[in-house]
Amino acid sequence: MPTDRSIVLFDLFGVIARHQHPGAQGRMAALCHTPTDAFTTAYWACRPPYDAGRQSAPEYWTAVLRRLSLSVDADTIEELRLTDIDSWSRVDDRMVSYVRSLRDVAEVALLSNIPSDHADAFLAAQPWLHDLDLVAFSGKIKAAKPDPAAFRHCVVAMRAAPADFLFVDDREENVRAARATGMNGHVFTDPDELTAVIDTWLPAAWLPTTWLPARRPAEK
């Protein structure tokens, strides 16, 4: 049964933060002197245990390099690790403003698939995250979306009921998984659409555009 609470649970990348910087895969492939396509395949194939906190950064990058049949050395691993973290460091300022202002009318939480060392860097660079009611990073909680355990962690940590949550993610499979646990869900495509969805979902009426900064020109 719901507890009459309103908790908006956000994904990070693709919603509040930007996806990986274009060209990052190519730069990391160049560090390995390997084709970008081969590097990208190894990068994502080895990623799940790293995201879920079952591997350290050196273990992950060792797996990537071995999959590419490349030699493993600590300097290369550290250069790849830092380049990777930097490639996931951009936020959407408009969405950050939204999330911060939304706390005036709802509880706001975050659930993101992100390795533990990436999470540490993101927390250090984005102090507004510390103001949220809950921040759950997969590498820290040892469960990555769409694993139901990731959503259950948020329910338990917030001492809430699944129906108290509106989960917002840009990936359909993650939203389906959240709904399967009893949460409400919305597939994010556009900030203005999200505003209308949340304004309808919240029990108290409030103007959906009062918090929105003006749109900036599209990135080039």
Domain ranges of the chain: 7-18+91-201, 24-87
Residue 206 has pLDDT above 70, yes or no: no
Asked if 29 and 40 count as a contact pair (C-beta separation under 8 A), the reply is yes
Question: How confident is the model at residue 204, as a pLDDT?
Answer: 56
Phi, then psi, of 60 in degrees rounded to 5: -60, -50
User: Of the candidates 75, 45, 60, 43, which has an alpha carbon nearest to the alpha carbon of residue 116?
Assistant: 60
Beta bridge partners of 167: 9, 185
Tens digit of each residue's pLDDT (9 = 90 or more) over 65-96: 999 999 999 999 999 999 999 999 999 999 99
Tens digit of each residue's pLDDT (9 = 90 or more) over 149-180: 999 999 999 999 999 999 999 999 999 999 99
- The Cα-based distances of 198 to 46, 90, 169 in angstroms read 36, 24, 13
Question: How confident is the model at residue 203, as a pLDDT?
Answer: 83
User: Of the candidates 91, 93, 92, 94, which has an alpha carbon nearest to the alpha carbon of residue 212?
Assistant: 94
What's the topology of domain 7-18+91-201? Rossmann fold (3.40.50)
User: Of the candidates 115, 113, 118, 99, which has an alpha carbon nearest to the alpha carbon of residue 173?
Assistant: 113
CA distance 206 to 77: 49
Residue 206's CB is within 10 A of a number of other CB atoms, namely 13
User: Of the candidates 176, 173, 198, which has an alpha carbon nearest to the alpha carbon of residue 107?
Assistant: 198
Q: Which residue has the higher pLDDT, 63 or 4?
A: 63
CA distance 214 to 170: 22
CA distance 138 to 161: 20
